[in-house]
Structure 1
Amino acid sequence: MSSPLIVTCTSCNMYSKAFSVCIGFTCDKCREIVRLTEKISELDTRIQTLIEDCKSARALDTALDAISLENTVHCSVPAEVEPVQQGNWVTVSRCSCGTKHHSSVPITTSNRFSPLSETPTENPVESALVTGDSITRNVKIETPATIVTCLPGARALDIKANLKVLTNANRKFSKIIIHVGTDDVRLSQSEITKINVKEVCELASTMSGSVICSGPLPVRRSDEMVSRLSSLNGWLYKWCPQNKIEFIDNWKSFWGKPDLLKRDGIHPSWDGAALLSSNMAHSLRDQT
Protein backbone atom coordinates (compact mmCIF):
# COMPACT_ATOMS: atom_id res chain seq x y z
CA MET A 1 0.00 0.00 0.00
CA SER A 2 1.44 3.40 -1.01
CA SER A 3 2.15 5.96 1.69
CA PRO A 4 0.04 9.14 1.77
CA LEU A 5 1.30 12.32 0.14
CA ILE A 6 1.27 15.80 1.65
CA VAL A 7 -0.80 18.26 -0.42
CA THR A 8 -1.64 21.94 0.10
CA CYS A 9 -5.15 23.43 -0.04
CA THR A 10 -5.35 26.16 -2.72
CA SER A 11 -7.71 28.21 -0.52
CA CYS A 12 -6.29 28.18 3.01
CA ASN A 13 -2.76 26.83 2.22
CA MET A 14 -3.11 24.22 4.95
CA TYR A 15 -1.47 20.82 4.55
CA SER A 16 -3.37 17.56 4.25
CA LYS A 17 -2.73 13.92 3.42
CA ALA A 18 -3.76 12.34 0.12
CA PHE A 19 -3.01 9.01 -1.58
CA SER A 20 -2.76 10.55 -5.07
CA VAL A 21 -1.47 13.74 -6.63
CA CYS A 22 -4.29 16.34 -6.67
CA ILE A 23 -4.21 19.47 -8.84
CA GLY A 24 -6.17 22.35 -7.36
CA PHE A 25 -6.81 20.49 -4.10
CA THR A 26 -9.41 22.04 -1.73
CA CYS A 27 -9.79 20.73 1.80
CA ASP A 28 -13.12 19.68 3.30
CA LYS A 29 -13.21 22.72 5.56
CA CYS A 30 -12.89 25.18 2.66
CA ARG A 31 -15.50 23.34 0.61
CA GLU A 32 -17.90 23.53 3.54
CA ILE A 33 -17.21 27.27 3.92
CA VAL A 34 -18.01 27.84 0.23
CA ARG A 35 -21.24 25.84 0.55
CA LEU A 36 -22.34 27.80 3.64
CA THR A 37 -21.44 31.11 1.99
CA GLU A 38 -23.69 30.26 -0.97
CA LYS A 39 -26.51 29.33 1.42
CA ILE A 40 -26.14 32.64 3.28
CA SER A 41 -26.20 34.56 0.01
CA GLU A 42 -29.34 32.70 -1.05
CA LEU A 43 -31.03 33.48 2.28
CA ASP A 44 -30.10 37.17 1.93
CA THR A 45 -31.73 37.19 -1.49
CA ARG A 46 -34.92 35.62 -0.12
CA ILE A 47 -35.03 38.14 2.74
CA GLN A 48 -34.68 41.07 0.35
CA THR A 49 -37.42 39.61 -1.84
CA LEU A 50 -39.74 39.26 1.16
CA ILE A 51 -39.01 42.84 2.27
CA GLU A 52 -39.80 44.23 -1.18
CA ASP A 53 -42.96 42.10 -1.40
CA CYS A 54 -44.12 43.44 1.98
CA LYS A 55 -43.54 47.03 0.81
CA SER A 56 -45.55 46.38 -2.35
CA ALA A 57 -48.35 44.76 -0.32
CA ARG A 58 -48.53 47.74 2.03
CA ALA A 59 -48.70 50.17 -0.88
CA LEU A 60 -51.48 48.08 -2.49
CA ASP A 61 -53.44 47.96 0.78
CA THR A 62 -53.17 51.75 1.16
CA ALA A 63 -54.43 52.31 -2.37
CA LEU A 64 -57.32 49.86 -1.89
CA ASP A 65 -58.32 51.51 1.41
CA ALA A 66 -58.36 54.91 -0.30
CA ILE A 67 -60.55 53.56 -3.11
CA SER A 68 -62.88 51.89 -0.60
CA LEU A 69 -63.22 55.15 1.36
CA GLU A 70 -63.96 57.09 -1.79
CA ASN A 71 -66.65 54.60 -2.85
CA THR A 72 -68.22 54.79 0.62
CA VAL A 73 -68.47 58.59 0.42
CA HIS A 74 -70.02 58.48 -3.03
CA CYS A 75 -72.57 55.81 -2.06
CA SER A 76 -73.61 57.24 1.34
CA VAL A 77 -76.91 58.60 -0.09
CA PRO A 78 -79.26 56.06 -1.74
CA ALA A 79 -79.63 56.73 -5.43
CA GLU A 80 -83.42 56.37 -5.45
CA VAL A 81 -84.04 59.24 -3.00
CA GLU A 82 -84.41 62.41 -5.10
CA PRO A 83 -85.53 65.72 -3.60
CA VAL A 84 -88.67 67.25 -5.14
CA GLN A 85 -88.16 70.94 -5.88
CA GLN A 86 -91.14 73.18 -4.87
CA GLY A 87 -90.22 76.83 -5.13
CA ASN A 88 -87.58 77.54 -2.49
CA TRP A 89 -88.51 74.46 -0.43
CA VAL A 90 -87.15 70.95 -0.69
CA THR A 91 -89.31 68.00 0.35
CA VAL A 92 -87.39 65.04 1.76
CA SER A 93 -89.13 61.73 2.51
CA ARG A 94 -88.44 60.19 5.89
CA CYS A 95 -88.86 56.58 6.95
CA SER A 96 -90.41 55.54 10.24
CA CYS A 97 -88.04 54.85 13.09
CA GLY A 98 -89.47 51.38 13.66
CA THR A 99 -88.89 50.22 10.08
CA LYS A 100 -85.58 48.69 9.12
CA HIS A 101 -84.11 50.27 6.01
CA HIS A 102 -81.75 48.27 3.79
CA SER A 103 -79.66 50.17 1.29
CA SER A 104 -80.32 49.14 -2.29
CA VAL A 105 -76.76 50.01 -3.32
CA PRO A 106 -75.05 46.71 -4.28
CA ILE A 107 -71.81 45.75 -2.55
CA THR A 108 -69.08 44.75 -4.98
CA THR A 109 -66.18 42.48 -4.07
CA SER A 110 -62.91 41.86 -5.86
CA ASN A 111 -59.75 39.82 -5.48
CA ARG A 112 -56.91 42.18 -4.68
CA PHE A 113 -54.35 39.55 -5.66
CA SER A 114 -55.50 39.35 -9.29
CA PRO A 115 -55.60 42.99 -10.45
CA LEU A 116 -54.29 42.10 -13.89
CA SER A 117 -57.15 39.71 -14.65
CA GLU A 118 -59.74 42.25 -13.47
CA THR A 119 -58.35 45.12 -15.55
CA PRO A 120 -60.44 45.97 -18.63
CA THR A 121 -58.95 44.68 -21.85
CA GLU A 122 -56.84 47.28 -23.57
CA ASN A 123 -56.48 47.84 -27.27
CA PRO A 124 -54.69 44.68 -28.53
CA VAL A 125 -52.93 46.76 -31.18
CA GLU A 126 -51.14 48.80 -28.54
CA SER A 127 -50.92 46.68 -25.36
CA ALA A 128 -47.95 44.45 -24.55
CA LEU A 129 -47.23 42.11 -21.63
CA VAL A 130 -43.89 41.36 -19.95
CA THR A 131 -44.07 38.49 -17.46
CA GLY A 132 -41.31 36.67 -15.62
CA ASP A 133 -39.60 35.79 -12.36
CA SER A 134 -37.85 38.16 -9.91
CA ILE A 135 -35.28 39.07 -12.58
CA THR A 136 -37.95 41.38 -14.06
CA ARG A 137 -38.69 43.15 -10.75
CA ASN A 138 -37.17 46.53 -11.74
CA VAL A 139 -37.89 46.37 -15.46
CA LYS A 140 -39.27 49.71 -16.68
CA ILE A 141 -40.40 50.09 -20.29
CA GLU A 142 -41.52 53.46 -21.64
CA THR A 143 -43.40 51.90 -24.53
CA PRO A 144 -47.08 52.91 -24.09
CA ALA A 145 -49.55 50.35 -22.71
CA THR A 146 -46.88 47.87 -21.59
CA ILE A 147 -47.73 45.80 -18.49
CA VAL A 148 -44.87 44.27 -16.48
CA THR A 149 -45.86 41.36 -14.21
CA CYS A 150 -43.15 40.13 -11.81
CA LEU A 151 -43.70 36.76 -10.11
CA PRO A 152 -40.80 36.21 -7.63
CA GLY A 153 -39.52 32.63 -7.60
CA ALA A 154 -41.68 31.69 -10.57
CA ARG A 155 -40.77 28.76 -12.77
CA ALA A 156 -42.11 28.02 -16.25
CA LEU A 157 -45.20 26.24 -14.91
CA ASP A 158 -45.99 29.23 -12.65
CA ILE A 159 -45.84 31.59 -15.63
CA LYS A 160 -48.11 29.20 -17.52
CA ALA A 161 -50.64 29.19 -14.65
CA ASN A 162 -50.68 32.99 -14.59
CA LEU A 163 -51.24 33.13 -18.34
CA LYS A 164 -54.15 30.68 -17.98
CA VAL A 165 -55.85 33.13 -15.61
CA LEU A 166 -55.55 35.83 -18.26
CA THR A 167 -56.78 33.43 -20.94
CA ASN A 168 -59.90 32.65 -18.91
CA ALA A 169 -60.51 36.41 -18.68
CA ASN A 170 -60.25 36.64 -22.50
CA ARG A 171 -57.20 38.89 -22.28
CA LYS A 172 -55.34 39.50 -25.54
CA PHE A 173 -52.04 41.30 -26.12
CA SER A 174 -50.26 42.54 -29.19
CA LYS A 175 -46.91 41.23 -27.87
CA ILE A 176 -45.87 39.01 -24.97
CA ILE A 177 -42.34 38.79 -23.53
CA ILE A 178 -41.59 35.79 -21.31
CA HIS A 179 -38.52 35.74 -19.02
CA VAL A 180 -38.03 32.48 -17.16
CA GLY A 181 -35.37 29.87 -16.46
CA THR A 182 -33.23 30.98 -13.52
CA ASP A 183 -35.34 29.16 -10.94
CA ASP A 184 -36.02 26.22 -13.28
CA VAL A 185 -32.37 25.17 -13.58
CA ARG A 186 -32.17 24.64 -9.81
CA LEU A 187 -34.22 21.47 -10.33
CA SER A 188 -31.43 19.97 -12.49
CA GLN A 189 -34.00 18.65 -14.97
CA SER A 190 -33.02 20.28 -18.25
CA GLU A 191 -35.32 18.25 -20.51
CA ILE A 192 -38.37 18.90 -18.32
CA THR A 193 -37.49 22.59 -18.25
CA LYS A 194 -37.43 22.66 -22.05
CA ILE A 195 -40.85 21.00 -22.23
CA ASN A 196 -42.28 23.52 -19.74
CA VAL A 197 -40.86 26.47 -21.67
CA LYS A 198 -42.39 25.10 -24.88
CA GLU A 199 -45.80 24.83 -23.22
CA VAL A 200 -45.59 28.42 -21.92
CA CYS A 201 -44.75 29.76 -25.36
CA GLU A 202 -47.54 27.72 -26.97
CA LEU A 203 -50.09 29.14 -24.52
CA ALA A 204 -48.78 32.66 -25.04
CA SER A 205 -49.19 32.20 -28.80
CA THR A 206 -52.94 31.78 -28.29
CA MET A 207 -53.06 35.17 -26.56
CA SER A 208 -50.86 37.13 -28.95
CA GLY A 209 -49.61 36.99 -32.49
CA SER A 210 -46.09 37.93 -31.36
CA VAL A 211 -44.29 35.99 -28.60
CA ILE A 212 -40.79 36.97 -27.47
CA CYS A 213 -38.55 34.86 -25.21
CA SER A 214 -36.07 36.74 -23.00
CA GLY A 215 -32.98 34.64 -22.36
CA PRO A 216 -31.40 34.08 -18.91
CA LEU A 217 -28.62 36.20 -17.41
CA PRO A 218 -25.08 34.84 -16.82
CA VAL A 219 -25.24 34.57 -13.02
CA ARG A 220 -22.18 34.62 -10.77
CA ARG A 221 -22.93 31.63 -8.53
CA SER A 222 -21.86 27.99 -8.69
CA ASP A 223 -20.21 26.63 -11.82
CA GLU A 224 -23.02 24.07 -12.15
CA MET A 225 -25.72 26.77 -12.22
CA VAL A 226 -23.78 28.84 -14.76
CA SER A 227 -23.33 25.75 -16.93
CA ARG A 228 -27.04 24.87 -16.85
CA LEU A 229 -28.11 28.42 -17.65
CA SER A 230 -25.59 28.61 -20.48
CA SER A 231 -26.98 25.36 -21.91
CA LEU A 232 -30.56 26.65 -21.62
CA ASN A 233 -29.58 29.89 -23.33
CA GLY A 234 -27.94 27.99 -26.19
CA TRP A 235 -31.03 25.83 -26.65
CA LEU A 236 -33.36 28.86 -26.69
CA TYR A 237 -31.07 30.59 -29.19
CA LYS A 238 -31.73 27.76 -31.67
CA TRP A 239 -35.25 26.68 -30.72
CA CYS A 240 -36.96 30.09 -30.74
CA PRO A 241 -36.27 31.04 -34.41
CA GLN A 242 -37.30 27.55 -35.50
CA ASN A 243 -40.71 28.11 -33.88
CA LYS A 244 -41.22 31.74 -35.03
CA ILE A 245 -40.44 33.16 -31.61
CA GLU A 246 -38.05 36.09 -31.25
CA PHE A 247 -35.17 35.55 -28.82
CA ILE A 248 -33.50 38.25 -26.68
CA ASP A 249 -29.89 37.19 -26.09
CA ASN A 250 -29.29 38.79 -22.67
CA TRP A 251 -26.34 36.45 -22.08
CA LYS A 252 -24.30 38.27 -24.71
CA SER A 253 -25.21 41.68 -23.27
CA PHE A 254 -24.39 40.80 -19.63
CA TRP A 255 -21.40 38.46 -20.08
CA GLY A 256 -18.15 39.79 -18.59
CA LYS A 257 -19.88 42.73 -16.86
CA PRO A 258 -20.17 41.83 -13.16
CA ASP A 259 -21.39 45.33 -12.22
CA LEU A 260 -24.68 44.57 -14.00
CA LEU A 261 -25.57 42.08 -11.24
CA LYS A 262 -26.20 42.60 -7.54
CA ARG A 263 -23.97 41.16 -4.85
CA ASP A 264 -26.06 37.98 -4.82
CA GLY A 265 -24.76 37.30 -8.34
CA ILE A 266 -28.27 36.54 -9.67
CA HIS A 267 -30.50 39.61 -9.83
CA PRO A 268 -29.65 42.59 -12.04
CA SER A 269 -28.40 45.78 -10.44
CA TRP A 270 -30.00 49.11 -11.30
CA ASP A 271 -27.73 49.37 -14.35
CA GLY A 272 -28.49 45.75 -15.21
CA ALA A 273 -32.25 46.34 -14.91
CA ALA A 274 -31.90 49.37 -17.19
CA LEU A 275 -30.04 47.25 -19.78
CA LEU A 276 -32.60 44.44 -19.54
CA SER A 277 -35.40 47.00 -19.97
CA SER A 278 -33.63 48.43 -23.01
CA ASN A 279 -33.25 44.97 -24.58
CA MET A 280 -36.95 44.27 -24.11
CA ALA A 281 -38.06 47.70 -25.32
CA HIS A 282 -35.87 47.36 -28.42
CA SER A 283 -37.45 43.98 -29.17
CA LEU A 284 -40.96 45.40 -28.73
CA ARG A 285 -40.24 48.26 -31.13
CA ASP A 286 -38.79 45.92 -33.75
CA GLN A 287 -41.89 43.69 -33.75
CA THR A 288 -44.38 44.43 -36.49
Structure 2
Amino acid sequence: MSPVPCSECNMFSYSSPVISGTFTCEKCQLVARLTEKIVVLEGRIRTLQNIQENESYIDSVLVAPDMSTTAIQSPPTPAAELSQQGKWLMTRQHSRKSKSNSHRHHSPIRISNRFSSLSETPTETPVESALVIADSIPRNIRVVTLATIVNCLPGARATNIAANLKVLAKSKSKYSQIIIHVGTNDVRLRQSEITKANFKEVCNLAKKMCVSVTCSGPIPARRGDEMYSRLSSLHCWLSEWCPINGMGYIDNWRTFWGRPGLLKSDGIHPSRAGANLLSKSIAHSLEANH
Protein backbone atom coordinates (compact mmCIF):
# COMPACT_ATOMS: atom_id res chain seq x y z
CA MET A 1 0.00 0.00 0.00
CA SER A 2 1.54 3.31 -1.10
CA PRO A 3 1.24 6.50 1.03
CA VAL A 4 -1.50 8.91 -0.01
CA PRO A 5 -1.11 12.72 0.48
CA CYS A 6 -4.01 14.74 1.89
CA SER A 7 -5.21 17.50 -0.47
CA GLU A 8 -5.56 19.94 2.45
CA CYS A 9 -2.58 19.44 4.79
CA ASN A 10 -0.33 17.39 2.43
CA MET A 11 0.27 14.81 5.17
CA PHE A 12 0.68 11.19 4.06
CA SER A 13 -1.56 8.35 5.18
CA TYR A 14 -1.58 4.57 4.71
CA SER A 15 -5.04 3.93 6.13
CA SER A 16 -7.36 4.89 3.28
CA PRO A 17 -6.75 4.04 -0.38
CA VAL A 18 -7.76 6.58 -3.02
CA ILE A 19 -10.43 5.32 -5.39
CA SER A 20 -10.84 8.48 -7.47
CA GLY A 21 -10.21 12.19 -7.11
CA THR A 22 -8.38 13.66 -4.19
CA PHE A 23 -7.97 12.35 -0.65
CA THR A 24 -8.82 14.26 2.55
CA CYS A 25 -7.66 12.89 5.91
CA GLU A 26 -9.95 12.49 8.91
CA LYS A 27 -8.31 15.43 10.71
CA CYS A 28 -9.02 17.83 7.85
CA GLN A 29 -12.58 16.50 7.53
CA LEU A 30 -13.13 17.18 11.24
CA VAL A 31 -11.66 20.67 10.90
CA ALA A 32 -13.98 21.35 7.95
CA ARG A 33 -17.05 20.25 9.93
CA LEU A 34 -16.04 22.41 12.89
CA THR A 35 -15.38 25.34 10.57
CA GLU A 36 -18.89 25.03 9.12
CA LYS A 37 -20.40 25.06 12.60
CA ILE A 38 -18.35 28.13 13.52
CA VAL A 39 -19.50 29.86 10.34
CA VAL A 40 -23.13 29.14 11.22
CA LEU A 41 -22.64 30.60 14.70
CA GLU A 42 -20.89 33.67 13.30
CA GLY A 43 -23.76 34.13 10.87
CA ARG A 44 -26.26 34.09 13.72
CA ILE A 45 -24.20 36.65 15.65
CA ARG A 46 -23.96 38.92 12.61
CA THR A 47 -27.71 38.56 12.05
CA LEU A 48 -28.38 39.70 15.61
CA GLN A 49 -25.95 42.61 15.21
CA ASN A 50 -27.60 43.68 11.95
CA ILE A 51 -31.04 43.50 13.58
CA GLN A 52 -29.79 45.67 16.43
CA GLU A 53 -28.35 48.24 14.01
CA ASN A 54 -31.59 48.31 12.02
CA GLU A 55 -33.58 48.75 15.23
CA SER A 56 -31.39 51.68 16.30
CA TYR A 57 -31.72 53.37 12.92
CA ILE A 58 -35.51 52.90 12.76
CA ASP A 59 -35.91 54.17 16.32
CA SER A 60 -33.92 57.30 15.53
CA VAL A 61 -36.30 58.02 12.65
CA LEU A 62 -39.64 56.96 14.09
CA VAL A 63 -39.30 58.00 17.74
CA ALA A 64 -39.84 61.77 17.58
CA PRO A 65 -41.58 64.15 19.97
CA ASP A 66 -45.34 64.06 19.54
CA MET A 67 -46.39 67.66 19.19
CA SER A 68 -50.06 66.76 18.71
CA THR A 69 -50.64 66.64 22.47
CA THR A 70 -49.57 70.25 22.98
CA ALA A 71 -52.65 72.42 23.15
CA ILE A 72 -52.66 75.86 21.59
CA GLN A 73 -53.91 78.28 24.19
CA SER A 74 -54.79 81.91 23.81
CA PRO A 75 -52.65 84.32 25.79
CA PRO A 76 -54.15 85.29 29.16
CA THR A 77 -55.50 88.75 29.74
CA PRO A 78 -52.89 90.90 31.44
CA ALA A 79 -53.57 91.72 35.09
CA ALA A 80 -53.05 95.42 34.45
CA GLU A 81 -56.03 95.51 32.08
CA LEU A 82 -58.33 93.81 34.59
CA SER A 83 -57.28 96.14 37.37
CA GLN A 84 -58.08 99.11 35.18
CA GLN A 85 -61.58 97.67 34.67
CA GLY A 86 -62.18 97.62 38.43
CA LYS A 87 -62.32 93.88 38.82
CA TRP A 88 -60.85 91.82 41.57
CA LEU A 89 -58.11 89.42 40.62
CA MET A 90 -57.83 85.96 42.10
CA THR A 91 -54.50 84.26 41.64
CA ARG A 92 -53.79 80.57 41.96
CA GLN A 93 -50.42 79.28 43.02
CA HIS A 94 -49.19 76.54 40.71
CA SER A 95 -47.10 73.75 42.08
CA ARG A 96 -43.76 72.87 40.56
CA LYS A 97 -45.07 69.48 39.59
CA SER A 98 -47.95 70.80 37.51
CA LYS A 99 -45.69 73.43 35.93
CA SER A 100 -43.12 70.89 34.91
CA ASN A 101 -45.79 68.58 33.50
CA SER A 102 -47.25 71.35 31.36
CA HIS A 103 -43.97 71.78 29.50
CA ARG A 104 -43.30 68.08 29.07
CA HIS A 105 -43.56 66.64 25.56
CA HIS A 106 -44.81 63.11 25.31
CA SER A 107 -43.09 60.84 22.81
CA PRO A 108 -44.60 57.63 21.47
CA ILE A 109 -42.85 54.56 22.84
CA ARG A 110 -42.16 51.90 20.25
CA ILE A 111 -42.02 48.42 21.72
CA SER A 112 -40.57 45.60 19.64
CA ASN A 113 -38.71 42.34 19.97
CA ARG A 114 -35.32 42.53 18.27
CA PHE A 115 -35.12 38.73 18.24
CA SER A 116 -38.50 38.30 16.54
CA SER A 117 -36.87 37.54 13.16
CA LEU A 118 -35.26 34.44 14.69
CA SER A 119 -38.48 33.10 16.21
CA GLU A 120 -40.95 30.78 14.53
CA THR A 121 -43.77 33.38 14.69
CA PRO A 122 -42.34 36.88 14.19
CA THR A 123 -44.31 39.67 15.79
CA GLU A 124 -43.40 42.23 13.12
CA THR A 125 -43.05 42.25 9.38
CA PRO A 126 -39.30 41.99 8.66
CA VAL A 127 -37.62 44.82 6.78
CA GLU A 128 -36.73 43.62 3.29
CA SER A 129 -33.17 44.82 2.77
CA ALA A 130 -30.51 43.75 0.31
CA LEU A 131 -28.01 41.12 1.47
CA VAL A 132 -24.40 40.78 0.32
CA ILE A 133 -23.04 37.46 1.60
CA ALA A 134 -19.50 36.45 0.76
CA ASP A 135 -16.12 35.15 1.87
CA SER A 136 -13.32 37.48 2.97
CA ILE A 137 -12.71 38.97 -0.48
CA PRO A 138 -15.24 41.85 -0.18
CA ARG A 139 -14.68 42.41 3.55
CA ASN A 140 -13.54 46.03 3.01
CA ILE A 141 -16.29 47.12 0.65
CA ARG A 142 -18.51 50.07 1.53
CA VAL A 143 -21.97 49.98 0.00
CA VAL A 144 -23.62 53.37 0.47
CA THR A 145 -27.15 52.06 0.86
CA LEU A 146 -29.19 52.27 4.05
CA ALA A 147 -30.97 48.96 3.44
CA THR A 148 -27.94 46.79 2.61
CA ILE A 149 -26.43 44.15 4.91
CA VAL A 150 -22.88 42.97 4.16
CA ASN A 151 -22.13 39.59 5.74
CA CYS A 152 -18.53 38.42 5.19
CA LEU A 153 -17.49 34.95 6.34
CA PRO A 154 -13.67 34.58 6.20
CA GLY A 155 -12.59 31.27 4.69
CA ALA A 156 -16.12 30.44 3.58
CA ARG A 157 -16.90 28.17 0.66
CA ALA A 158 -20.15 27.67 -1.21
CA THR A 159 -21.26 25.07 1.34
CA ASN A 160 -20.71 27.53 4.20
CA ILE A 161 -22.74 30.21 2.40
CA ALA A 162 -25.51 27.65 1.87
CA ALA A 163 -25.51 26.78 5.59
CA ASN A 164 -25.75 30.45 6.51
CA LEU A 165 -28.64 31.02 4.09
CA LYS A 166 -30.49 28.05 5.60
CA VAL A 167 -30.23 29.69 9.03
CA LEU A 168 -31.55 32.98 7.65
CA ALA A 169 -34.36 31.21 5.79
CA LYS A 170 -35.39 29.38 8.97
CA SER A 171 -35.55 32.70 10.80
CA LYS A 172 -38.12 33.96 8.24
CA SER A 173 -35.71 36.59 6.93
CA LYS A 174 -36.69 38.13 3.60
CA TYR A 175 -34.57 40.30 1.34
CA SER A 176 -35.21 42.47 -1.68
CA GLN A 177 -32.15 40.98 -3.41
CA ILE A 178 -29.10 38.86 -2.59
CA ILE A 179 -25.57 39.14 -3.97
CA ILE A 180 -23.25 36.13 -3.48
CA HIS A 181 -19.47 36.34 -3.77
CA VAL A 182 -17.56 33.12 -3.21
CA GLY A 183 -15.23 30.82 -5.09
CA THR A 184 -11.62 31.54 -4.12
CA ASN A 185 -11.65 28.94 -1.35
CA ASP A 186 -13.70 26.46 -3.41
CA VAL A 187 -11.13 26.07 -6.20
CA ARG A 188 -8.58 24.85 -3.67
CA LEU A 189 -10.56 21.61 -3.44
CA ARG A 190 -9.63 20.85 -7.07
CA GLN A 191 -13.09 19.41 -7.67
CA SER A 192 -14.72 21.48 -10.40
CA GLU A 193 -17.95 19.51 -10.74
CA ILE A 194 -18.55 19.44 -6.98
CA THR A 195 -17.91 23.19 -6.85
CA LYS A 196 -20.48 23.77 -9.60
CA ALA A 197 -23.03 21.65 -7.76
CA ASN A 198 -22.43 23.63 -4.56
CA PHE A 199 -22.92 26.90 -6.44
CA LYS A 200 -26.22 25.66 -7.85
CA GLU A 201 -27.41 24.76 -4.35
CA VAL A 202 -26.49 28.20 -2.98
CA CYS A 203 -28.30 29.97 -5.81
CA ASN A 204 -31.42 27.85 -5.45
CA LEU A 205 -31.56 28.65 -1.73
CA ALA A 206 -31.14 32.36 -2.44
CA LYS A 207 -33.94 32.31 -5.04
CA LYS A 208 -36.35 31.04 -2.39
CA MET A 209 -35.55 34.04 -0.17
CA CYS A 210 -35.83 36.85 -2.71
CA VAL A 211 -36.68 37.65 -6.31
CA SER A 212 -33.35 39.03 -7.54
CA VAL A 213 -30.14 36.98 -7.08
CA THR A 214 -26.75 38.06 -8.41
CA CYS A 215 -23.38 36.30 -8.39
CA SER A 216 -20.28 38.44 -7.94
CA GLY A 217 -17.68 36.66 -10.01
CA PRO A 218 -14.17 35.75 -8.83
CA ILE A 219 -11.24 38.10 -9.23
CA PRO A 220 -8.00 36.99 -10.97
CA ALA A 221 -6.00 36.11 -7.86
CA ARG A 222 -2.25 35.63 -8.23
CA ARG A 223 -1.44 32.59 -6.12
CA GLY A 224 0.09 30.30 -8.69
CA ASP A 225 -0.90 29.21 -12.18
CA GLU A 226 -3.20 26.43 -10.98
CA MET A 227 -5.41 28.71 -8.85
CA TYR A 228 -5.46 31.33 -11.58
CA SER A 229 -6.54 28.72 -14.15
CA ARG A 230 -9.26 27.27 -11.91
CA LEU A 231 -10.64 30.72 -11.07
CA SER A 232 -10.69 31.59 -14.76
CA SER A 233 -12.66 28.41 -15.52
CA LEU A 234 -15.11 29.19 -12.71
CA HIS A 235 -15.58 32.72 -14.06
CA CYS A 236 -16.30 31.44 -17.58
CA TRP A 237 -18.84 28.94 -16.29
CA LEU A 238 -20.63 31.43 -14.01
CA SER A 239 -20.78 34.12 -16.69
CA GLU A 240 -22.75 31.71 -18.90
CA TRP A 241 -24.73 29.81 -16.27
CA CYS A 242 -26.10 32.79 -14.32
CA PRO A 243 -27.90 34.55 -17.22
CA ILE A 244 -29.36 31.26 -18.45
CA ASN A 245 -30.87 30.64 -15.01
CA GLY A 246 -32.29 34.15 -14.59
CA MET A 247 -29.54 35.52 -12.35
CA GLY A 248 -27.32 38.58 -12.59
CA TYR A 249 -23.56 38.36 -12.87
CA ILE A 250 -20.89 40.92 -11.87
CA ASP A 251 -17.85 40.47 -14.13
CA ASN A 252 -15.00 41.20 -11.71
CA TRP A 253 -12.54 39.28 -13.87
CA ARG A 254 -12.59 41.87 -16.65
CA THR A 255 -12.40 44.70 -14.11
CA PHE A 256 -9.37 43.36 -12.18
CA TRP A 257 -7.49 41.59 -14.97
CA GLY A 258 -4.14 43.15 -15.85
CA ARG A 259 -4.26 45.61 -12.93
CA PRO A 260 -1.99 44.25 -10.16
CA GLY A 261 -2.37 47.43 -8.11
CA LEU A 262 -5.94 46.39 -7.29
CA LEU A 263 -4.68 43.44 -5.22
CA LYS A 264 -2.76 43.33 -1.94
CA SER A 265 0.66 41.76 -1.58
CA ASP A 266 -0.95 38.36 -0.83
CA GLY A 267 -2.27 38.27 -4.41
CA ILE A 268 -5.80 37.37 -3.29
CA HIS A 269 -7.55 40.16 -1.40
CA PRO A 270 -8.32 43.52 -3.04
CA SER A 271 -6.32 46.56 -2.03
CA ARG A 272 -8.01 49.79 -0.98
CA ALA A 273 -8.40 50.80 -4.61
CA GLY A 274 -9.67 47.32 -5.49
CA ALA A 275 -12.17 47.36 -2.62
CA ASN A 276 -13.49 50.75 -3.79
CA LEU A 277 -13.89 49.43 -7.32
CA LEU A 278 -15.64 46.29 -6.07
CA SER A 279 -17.93 48.45 -3.92
CA LYS A 280 -18.97 50.48 -6.96
CA SER A 281 -19.67 47.34 -8.98
CA ILE A 282 -21.87 45.87 -6.24
CA ALA A 283 -23.65 49.18 -5.62
CA HIS A 284 -24.33 49.55 -9.35
CA SER A 285 -25.82 46.04 -9.44
CA LEU A 286 -28.04 46.80 -6.45
CA GLU A 287 -29.32 50.02 -8.01
CA ALA A 288 -29.93 48.37 -11.38
CA ASN A 289 -32.02 45.58 -9.85
CA HIS A 290 -33.85 47.82 -7.37
The separation in 2 between residues aligned to 1:190 and 1:131, in whole angstroms, is: 22
Q: Measure how far apart 1:188 and its partner are.
A: 0.2
**Aligned equivalent of 2:211:** 209
Q: How do 1:46-57 and structure 2 match up within 5 A?
A: none
**Aligned equivalent of 1:284:** 286
The separation in 2 between residues aligned to 1:121 and 1:135, in whole angstroms, is: 32
Q: How do 1:1-288 and structure 2 match up within 5 A?
A: 122-124=126-128, 127-288=129-290
Percent identity reads: 60
The separation in 2 between residues aligned to 1:157 and 1:173, in whole angstroms, is: 20
What amino acid sits opposite 2:246 in the alignment? K
The separation in 1 between residues aligned to 2:230 and 2:252, in whole angstroms, is: 15
Residue ranges of structure 2 left out of the alignment (5+ in a row): 1-41, 53-113
The separation in 1 between residues aligned to 2:191 and 2:125, in whole angstroms, is: 37
The separation in 1 between residues aligned to 2:175 and 2:184, in whole angstroms, is: 25
The separation in 1 between residues aligned to 2:179 and 2:266, in whole angstroms, is: 25
1:121/1:172 contact within 8 Å kept = no
The separation in 1 between residues aligned to 2:286 and 2:170, in whole angstroms, is: 25
Residue ranges of structure 1 left out of the alignment (5+ in a row): 1-52, 64-109
TM, length-normalised to structure 2: 0.58
Q: How many residues align?
A: 183
The separation in 1 between residues aligned to 2:242 and 2:149, in whole angstroms, is: 23
* CA-to-aligned-CA distance 1:218-253 (integer Å, 9 cap, x gap): 011100000000000000000000000000000000
Secondary structure of 1:153 counterpart: coil
Q: Which has the higher contact order (CA 8 A, sep 6+)?
A: 2
Decide whether aligned partners of structure 1 residues 121 and 234 sit closer, same or farther in structure 2, where only a CA change above 3 A counts: farther
1:213/1:245 contact within 8 Å kept = yes
The separation in 2 between residues aligned to 1:117 and 1:140, in whole angstroms, is: 26
The separation in 2 between residues aligned to 1:284 and 1:231, in whole angstroms, is: 26
The separation in 1 between residues aligned to 2:289 and 2:259, in whole angstroms, is: 28
The separation in 1 between residues aligned to 2:141 and 2:203, in whole angstroms, is: 21
1:129/1:175 contact within 8 Å kept = yes
* CA-to-aligned-CA distance 1:173-223 (integer Å, 9 cap, x gap): 000000010000000001100000000000000000000000000011100
Decide whether aligned partners of structure 1 residues 121 and 231 sit closer, same or farther in structure 2, where only a CA change above 3 A counts: farther
1:121/1:171 contact within 8 Å kept = no
Q: Measure how far apart 1:143 and its partner are.
A: 1.7
Q: Measure how far apart 1:117 and its partner are.
A: 5.3
